[in-house]
Structure 1
Amino acid sequence: MKLNFLATALLIGVATYAQDTKTIKGHIYDAANNNEPLAYATVMLQNTEFGAEADENGYFEIACPKGTYLLEASYLGYQTYTLPYETDKTNEVTINLIPESDSLDEIVITIDKKKSTETALLNEQRKSLEIKQQIGAQELSRKGVGDVAAAVAKTTGISKQEGSNNVYVRGLGDRYNSTTLNGLPVPSNDPEKKNINLELFSTDIVEYISIDKTFSSKNTGDFGGGNVDILSKDFKDNSLFEVELGTKINTNATSKGAEFLLPQGPSKLGYANYGVPNKPLSGYHFTNSLQPQTAGPIGGNFGVRAGKSFLIGNTGKLNLFATASFDNAFTFKEGINQSASAQGAKLKSFNQEKFSQTTNTTGMFNANYHINDKNRVGYNLLYINSSDLSRDTYTGTDRDFEGDHDALLVQRGTFIQNTVLINQLLGNHTFNNKLGFDWAVSYNTIKSDMPDRTQNKMFYWKDTNNYTIAQRTITDNHRYFQNLKEDEIAANLALNYKFGSTENGSEKGKLTLGYNGRVKNRDFEAIQFNFRISGNALNSTVNPNNLDTFFNQQNYDNGLFNIEAFAGETPQTYNGEQNIHAGFANVEYRLTDKLSAVVGMRYEKINQTVKWRTQLDAQEKNNEFNRNEFLPNLSFKYAINTVQNLRLAASKTYTLPQFKERARFIYEDVTEIKVGNPYLYPSQNYNLDLKWELFPNSDEVVSVAAFGKYILDPINEITMASSTNDITWVNIGDKGYVYGAEFEIKKQIIDFGGANKNNLFAGLNVSYMKTDQEINREKIQKETNGLINTNFNFDRSSFTGASDLLLNADISYVKNWNNDKALTATVAYTHYSDRLYALGVEQKGNLVDKGMGSLDFILKTNLHKKVAINFAARNILNPEFRRIQDNASGQINAITYKRGAFFSLGAKYTF
């Protein structure tokens, strides 16, 4: 059915242009710059939909029916050029555009600014020999997107898991994807994740985001779903100074008012200067109070951006740009959090309330020195400090805490601080018309600290309306400290050689030889201090909001409780080292005027070593593997005409396990425990893509794609068959696969006319996919030497995190006036269908996140060329999130909550 749909779409597209056509060819030159080629200028046939954009050599081709036309060439900052043209002519057209201004510097600035516009990115997508998808600063602004995670979730085939920072590309989660900044890798801020949280990257620092769903030999071979490359701002104007202020609210949070309580400890800016106390087992030396404090719940943001350009000599130009911003937000959600047996009996049944405050402090500085047309060097510095402070309360029942009490109360206070520091040095050099060299190096540091997570359990007695300390195991009441530090050095080197030539003077082919290197080191340690409550003290009445009256030095001295930890004051640790050195060769070649090919080969030498000392292995142990990977890739592009392409891509890649997944380290949450598997090993991926795309006008696109992935030894998170039902990671079966189709359209619906832009624009992207994998109990037991046992009652399943259907739709009204006033109003809707969260075990049903949608409204206005006012309303429909346990006897709610609606108002002033 899906293949028939794709074939029909392709036939319709070809038939549309199968009529008797002529091709108009020509070059566009810059009259103010020694008649240099004017890249990306627009050429249209007036009163028709036929047109093109010039390539980097100023060359263009327009396929159109026979006839007489008025040719119109234009470029922002230049005078429009018109020329009558008859298709019977065979000579090429030569156009020299004249600037509207006498200032050449100003003209050059205008040209460079087009790189992040929707028109420029669609043009690059059209011309690229590889399958690309990009979203730029202009589109991000129109859709009111504030961070990179939300940005990529607006693109075809990509979704973000509710309640986490996991991004899924074509149904494949974190382990199958990769993240880069300006082409260089970025380390993770989470010990359980391969990729950094994309929410950390504010769109203020973004020029555009490129999403590669097909593998290229220039990218890392640890690739399955896609690579997200964030291109940082590249300032080109003469000068800039902007200040922005805003406020934001969450309707759930504001409804709590003075009852919005958060743990004490970190500063309001999201920084903490405390950690494990001195001599923690010899007294109660913890400095943070257990008494929650009233906070918020109204958030806000502040930002300042500045840039300046300097001319150096006759050909040089130095562009400096800096931005600094801070924002915080408050959220509240409430609902069911429970688990049940296969027969439906409640094992744990709580009503959960979660109060949260998040902060993000971002600073970026970059300097780009354009020495001349052939040499450019740049430096990027990025600093991010993010924090998440939350207070969770669980009220209800737990089968392990049966008794005469009326309810069990679990309180957990958590603060996580992530600090990211990225340094990059990049260069591009053109030695002559044939030979060029690109290089980039980076040194990155990530620190992620959980400096004092607290947990306490209490019994509630309805007859006296009192609470007492609850204890079934020593870990029920504890304080936990965790920190991670990861350093990474990376380098990219690429030598490019152009060869052959076409009739218009451009090259037929390009050979690229290169090297990529990554050296990563991670240190992780954690220690938990458990409070053993004495028998008499368990009857003591306590106030849940003032536990300092019980946990204090005096009661410690009186023997009401003591403090214990694994291996005394020695923390549990694991250390990871990963070295990847790769060489690659890539050939791009134009086989005919319409058919081009890319052939690449990548070799990677991989070494990964993990060492650990934990409560499972008191003596230090280690695990190491070495791999040699040969990774071919092949892609074809057939240009049906100047506005229509057919593409095919195939490749082989792999997927590595992560450090923590292979270390025998236990991480305990309120409702689950995770432990590593030292026998985990990489999976192998075979990828195939087919795509048809049409670019009716400069800012419009229609595309249909089909894709398939065949995965050997897929890695999955599972629940072990044990008394505690711990979670671990395994190579779950011999094979799995993903296949699906994608459709995208961006189209102007109505042009209301007038001298300035006044139109209605709409976009829609839809993805439909299926995933399937084998589940082999014997394979798991054999490959782990009996360490891991499972008890599945099925032998196949879909991939966790994958939705069959993803949909994004938006409609925008854009109106500009001559006096620098503008208005953009956008309505955007996102929907995902049911997705598997976790596989069931021992007859218990799978955990499934039910499908849901989100509706946003964004209004952006320029009241003056210096003043802008923005308003956004997100999650307007406020749907209920539901995770169900799909038992044979029926569905049971596992987690339910509503996020509330989010409203923000901001103002920007440009000096």
Structure 2
Amino acid sequence: MQRKSATVMDGVSAEQFSRSGDSDAAAALTRVTGLSIEGSKYVYVRGLGDRYVKTSLNGAEVPGLDPNRNTVQMDLFPANLLDNLTVSKTFTPDMPGSFSGGFVNITTKDFPDRFTLQFSTSIGVNDQTTFNGKFLSSNRGKTDWLGFDDGTRAVPEEINFEIPFESSTNADRAEKIDRATNAFNQEMAPVRATAPVNHSHSFSLGNQTELFGRQFGYVVGLSYQRSFSYYNNGTFGLWELTSKDAEGLLVESLLEDERGVEDVSLGFLSNFSFKFNNNNKISLNLIRNQSGQNSSRYLNGIFPETSGVYDNRAIFESRALHYTQRALSSAQLKGEHLLPGFMNSTINWLGSFTLSQQDEPDLRFFANDYFVTGTDTAYRIQPAAYTLPARFFRDLDETNLDIKVNITTPFKIWNGLEAKTKFGAAALRKDRAFRENIYRYRFTNEYDYNGSILDFFAPENLGVVSQPGDPENDGLYRYGVYLQDGSQRTNNYDGDETIYAGYGMIDLPVNEKLRVVTGARVEVTDIYVESFNKSLNPGELKQVDVLPSINTTYSLTEKTNLRLGYSRTLARPNFREIAPYTSFDFVGEPAFTGNANLKRTQIDNFDARWEWYPNVGEFLSVSAFYKNFKNPIERSINTLALNNEIFIQNVNNAKVYGLEFEVNKRFSFISPALENFVGSANLSLIKSTVSISERELEQIRAVRPDAESTRPLFGQSPFVANASLSYQSDPLGLVATASYNVFGDRISAISIGGTPNIYERSRPMVNMVVSKRIGQHFTAKVAAENILNPEYKNSHEYNGAEYIYSSYKLGRTFSFGLTYLVN
């Protein structure tokens, strides 16, 4: 596929990520040259992520599940349901024009040419999680093991009205507040449990047969994974550079971090294909992926500055219970038709409907501080809105309707060579609805918190604590701990995006060695986002873009290609970025403000690659690339705001350039005795610069006068490297693979003011997998993951010293699996 492709393309097959033991698409993509994964979900290609990477599923666009990101969460796709993953790094007009780093296509399994049945099961243990009786957990629903909440975390039915503000005289309001306060469950802190073993199971069935006398193929697949992770060795810190004469960063908080996470993933795939005759075929692909994550976290330590009320003697502690369920449902119908009477043209069409959902029910926070004086401990809960105990409910629903039609016509040219023209049209419609409700616990000045969450919710403290006629209150209502609706209409929005596209291109062999693929694509963009707060102007983007492309391939020899390419592509803001409102997250996080006036980014891409295919399964390449960004969309600092919120805006210019090296080679060239060994390695060296806005630069230089006027792009690593060594013996039925992956330090957060940015620090990842065929139908597999157990660390650096923002270790995982296969 790589050798015959019209573009600079890389990829990984099902066989390759099976050898490496990768459980999902995110892990498998780390094997691809120039790719890295952020947060175990998000793909970065050549150091570019989010808005600069486009993902499709069998050629159809896939909506993302994160309201603040522009990209798809790749861990949602189980590896056993996939056939291959390809990454096109250059653009041709038949692709969507909204990418620059890469166009990732996830291809699911197609039906086999004969009956195939496969069942796999595996169990795994983690050396710091499994059977650990200190694992943090929280209340669970009956269907958590299937990846979705059964309603345990839903807003209670009693809260079907607007909760009024505190009133001491109105009986109806008092009764509503009392009912609402008592309706919720009272679990606001993690509990201890014992973590069981990790386990995963998969099943697939496929065949090719006859239906109504015609060829019919099908494949059905199921997958299930459940895993646990835990750490109690973590650190979480917030730091600030306060003046240009400071010797170091001032600590705002430094907390010990403990966390337990349970992940569940359930996947279903069915693919049906019916061949009417040799010239006409239609296919139906149905996919449902469901995942749930239950996370429980406890932090404690110094928090000297919060609204000026804390001091260095105080110990701050915070608890968070967070459940997230994600679902992706997709139905794709596509057809292929050969028209012999019309110059042997081929028509390909696709209609895809995808529904993606992310639900965060009952996200809970409970924070307090305490002082220890001698034998006495004094507790308090601060009245600031962002430290009060609170419950969040967030829902995101997004639909994608994607329709494509392509017509390819071959024709003969000089010297008997065959050229092809390709024309097509596409229409994409996205609709998003985002909803957020917030409920906060407040209390009267007389309430004295004693450090016990159980006492916080004790009946004598909850809701209305005295009735009219009480002599002590002179007939007035009095509240203890009571619920207040903190939801803001501003934080709820609806968005729609429509993109119409048309293109034309020609695949022209100039001679037997030189191939030119060129053409242009026109895309019409219409994005509209409106907050529920009608006083805010809606965010809008209307644009028409012409995107030219030329890719040339010169065959130096039968096995060697030289590729050159140029294209213009674009990047659009996401719904949240042009929704013009300010939202606050949680303790330690700045506010975020969207920008209704954002422009789309234009990118000029230049690529070159030399590639050599010496033998089957062997590959060697050297690539170079350069990208120039006009009006890149970046996060920066709004210095006019009182609270220094993060503001999204266009800056003038950004550049990315780099080199890529890749080799996949059998060791038989050293000695015939090494015929069964295959080595693979790739290295990407990348440099990026983006201009900092004038007002942000002014604020930075107020405390760092020598600060540069540019910085690397967010999430861009200066290098990404992969290496693997495999041994395969067909007579023994033995396959063994050791793999290594590492990336360079990359910006993970833009800091406020002149405080140095936070970098995710480099960490090496080493995995080993060994599989052995047993008899005719069974294969056993053992695997060791994260063998080096590196530290996951994010930190600032200033004056040669490192300041930890977050750090933890996840431990090593060892697993054993068994596969039964009939084919």
Q: Does 2:346 align with 1:436?
A: yes
2:147 aligned residue (252, 270, 275) = 270
Alpha carbons of 1:640 and 1:242: their partners in 2 closer, same or farther (altered >3 Å)? Answer: same
After superposing the two structures, state which structure 1 stretch, 489-498 or 339-348, moved more: 339-348
In the alignment, which residue of structure 1 is the partner of 2:710?
A: 796
Q: Is the 8 A contact 1:845 1:888 kept in 2?
A: no
What is the rounded CA distance, in whole Å, between the counterparts of 2:347 and 2:791 in structure 1?
53
Aligned-residue sequence identity (percent) comes to 25
What is the rounded CA distance, in whole Å, between the counterparts of 1:780 and 1:223 in structure 2?
29
Q: Is the 8 A contact 2:393 2:436 kept in 1?
A: yes
In the alignment, which residue of structure 2 is the partner of 1:744?
A: 662
Q: Is the 8 A contact 2:490 2:531 kept in 1?
A: no
1:230 aligned residue (101, 106, 113) = 106
2:519 aligned residue (583, 593, 600) = 600
Q: Does 2:802 align with 1:855?
A: no
Which amino acid is 1:500 matched to? K
Q: Is the 8 A contact 2:26 2:40 kept in 1?
A: no
In structure 1, stretches of 5+ residues that fail to align are 1-123
2:512 is paired with a residue whose SS is coil
What is the rounded CA distance, in whole Å, between the counterparts of 1:794 and 1:487 in structure 2?
43
After superposing the two structures, state which structure 1 stretch, 683-692 or 474-483, moved more: 474-483
Shift of 1:600: 1.4
Alpha carbons of 1:608 and 1:827: their partners in 2 closer, same or farther (altered >3 Å)? Answer: same
What is the rounded CA distance, in whole Å, between the counterparts of 2:449 and 2:184 in structure 1?
24
Q: Does 2:187 align with 1:187?
A: no
Shift of 1:533: 2.5
Alpha carbons of 1:619 and 1:540: their partners in 2 closer, same or farther (altered >3 Å)? Answer: farther
Which amino acid is 2:117 matched to? F
2:462 is paired with a residue whose SS is helix
Q: Deviations over 1:625-648 (max 9, x none)?
A: 210000000010001111000000
Shift of 1:836: 2.0
Which amino acid is 2:295 matched to? S
2:721 aligned residue (791, 804, 807) = 807
Q: Does 2:542 align with 1:626?
A: yes
2:448 is paired with a residue whose SS is helix
Alpha carbons of 1:288 and 1:448: their partners in 2 closer, same or farther (altered >3 Å)? Answer: farther
Q: Deviations over 1:845-885 (max 9, x none)?
A: 12122222111101122112211111111110111122221
Q: Deviations over 1:445-499 (max 9, x none)?
A: 0111001100001224445586845223133210000001001100110011101
2:226 aligned residue (309, 322, 328) = 328
In the alignment, which residue of structure 1 is the partner of 2:687?
A: 770
Q: Does 2:236 align with 1:309?
A: no
Which amino acid is 1:371 matched to? F
What is the rounded CA distance, in whole Å, between the counterparts of 1:830 and 1:665 in structure 2?
38
1:759 aligned residue (676, 683, 696) = 676
Instruction: State the TM-score, normalizing by the size of structure 1.
Output: 0.80
Q: Is the 8 A contact 2:439 2:487 kept in 1?
A: no
2:319 is paired with a residue whose SS is strand
Q: Deviations over 1:150-206 (max 9, x none)?
A: 111111111112x35222111111111111011110011111112220000011111
1:458 aligned residue (368, 375, 398) = 368
Which amino acid is 2:563 matched to? R
What is the rounded CA distance, in whole Å, between the counterparts of 1:240 and 1:551 in structure 2?
60
What is the rounded CA distance, in whole Å, between the counterparts of 1:243 and 1:744 in structure 2?
34
Alpha carbons of 1:262 and 1:466: their partners in 2 closer, same or farther (altered >3 Å)? Answer: farther
Higher RCO (C-alpha under 8 Å, 6+ residues apart):
2
What is the rounded CA distance, in whole Å, between the counterparts of 1:442 and 1:867 in structure 2?
37
Q: Is the 8 A contact 1:752 1:759 kept in 2?
A: no
Q: Does 2:277 align with 1:359?
A: no
Which amino acid is 1:417 matched to? Q
In the alignment, which residue of structure 2 is the partner of 1:879?
A: 790
What is the rounded CA distance, in whole Å, between the counterparts of 1:618 and 1:460 in structure 2?
42
In the alignment, which residue of structure 2 is the partner of 1:338?
A: 237
Which amino acid is 2:135 matched to? F
What is the rounded CA distance, in whole Å, between the counterparts of 1:469 and 1:519 in structure 2?
50
What is the rounded CA distance, in whole Å, between the counterparts of 1:475 and 1:147 in structure 2?
36
1:661 is paired with a residue whose SS is helix
Q: Deviations over 1:408-449 (max 9, x none)?
A: 100011000001100000111111263110000101101110
Q: Within 5 Å, which residues of 2 pair with 1:15-94?
A: none
Alpha carbons of 1:730 and 1:790: their partners in 2 closer, same or farther (altered >3 Å)? Answer: farther
What is the rounded CA distance, in whole Å, between the counterparts of 1:551 and 1:606 in structure 2?
55
Q: Within 5 Å, which residues of 2 pair with 1:691-702?
A: 691-702=609-620
In the alignment, which residue of structure 1 is the partner of 2:310?
A: 402
Instruction: State the TM-score, normalizing by the size of structure 2.
Output: 0.89
Q: Within 5 Å, which residues of 2 pair with 1:573-652?
A: 573-613=492-532, 617=533, 619=535, 621-652=537-568
Shift of 1:306: 1.2
2:2 is paired with a residue whose SS is helix
What is the rounded CA distance, in whole Å, between the counterparts of 2:104 and 2:715 in structure 1?
18
Q: Is the 8 A contact 1:469 1:542 kept in 2?
A: no
Alpha carbons of 1:263 and 1:466: their partners in 2 closer, same or farther (altered >3 Å)? Answer: farther
In the alignment, which residue of structure 2 is the partner of 1:415?
A: 323
In the alignment, which residue of structure 1 is the partner of 2:476?
A: none
1:130 is paired with a residue whose SS is coil
Alpha carbons of 1:277 and 1:719: their partners in 2 closer, same or farther (altered >3 Å)? Answer: farther
In the alignment, which residue of structure 1 is the partner of 2:735?
A: 824
Q: Does 2:89 align with 1:213?
A: yes
Q: Is the 8 A contact 1:684 1:711 kept in 2?
A: yes
Q: Is the 8 A contact 1:587 1:600 kept in 2?
A: yes
Alpha carbons of 1:488 and 1:904: their partners in 2 closer, same or farther (altered >3 Å)? Answer: same
Q: Is the 8 A contact 1:200 1:386 kept in 2?
A: yes
1:152 aligned residue (10, 29, 40) = 29
In structure 2, stretches of 5+ residues that fail to align are 164-176, 466-478
Q: Is the 8 A contact 1:264 1:288 kept in 2?
A: no
Shift of 1:672: 1.1
What is the rounded CA distance, in whole Å, between the counterparts of 1:768 and 1:574 in structure 2?
41
In the alignment, which residue of structure 1 is the partner of 2:6?
A: 129
Shift of 1:720: 3.8
In the alignment, which residue of structure 2 is the partner of 1:734?
A: 652
Which amino acid is 2:29 matched to? V
In the alignment, which residue of structure 1 is the partner of 2:275?
A: 370
What is the rounded CA distance, in whole Å, between the counterparts of 1:541 and 1:696 in structure 2?
70
Q: Does 2:537 align with 1:662?
A: no
Shift of 1:795: 1.5
Q: Is the 8 A contact 1:812 1:826 kept in 2?
A: yes
Q: Does 2:333 align with 1:425?
A: yes
In the alignment, which residue of structure 1 is the partner of 2:297?
A: 392
What is the rounded CA distance, in whole Å, between the counterparts of 1:676 and 1:825 in structure 2?
50
1:260 aligned residue (115, 118, 135) = 135
Q: Does 2:408 align with 1:500?
A: no
Q: Does 2:632 align with 1:714?
A: yes
What is the rounded CA distance, in whole Å, between the counterparts of 2:615 and 2:428 in structure 1?
41
Alpha carbons of 1:700 and 1:182: their partners in 2 closer, same or farther (altered >3 Å)? Answer: same
Which amino acid is 2:531 matched to? W
Alpha carbons of 1:906 and 1:728: their partners in 2 closer, same or farther (altered >3 Å)? Answer: farther
Q: Is the 8 A contact 1:330 1:358 kept in 2?
A: yes
Shift of 1:894: 1.8
What is the rounded CA distance, in whole Å, between the counterparts of 1:679 and 1:164 in structure 2?
32
In the alignment, which residue of structure 2 is the partner of 1:490?
A: 402
Q: Deviations over 1:184-235 (max 9, x none)?
A: 1001111111222000001111111110111111111111111100111001
Q: Deviations over 1:683-730 (max 9, x none)?
A: 110000000000000110000000000001111123444554432322
Which amino acid is 2:778 matched to? V
Aligned-pair Cα RMSD in Å: 2.6
Alpha carbons of 1:768 and 1:465: their partners in 2 closer, same or farther (altered >3 Å)? Answer: farther
How many residues are matched? 766
Q: Is the 8 A contact 1:672 1:727 kept in 2?
A: no
What is the rounded CA distance, in whole Å, between the counterparts of 1:188 and 1:845 in structure 2?
30
What is the rounded CA distance, in whole Å, between the counterparts of 1:751 and 1:816 in structure 2?
20
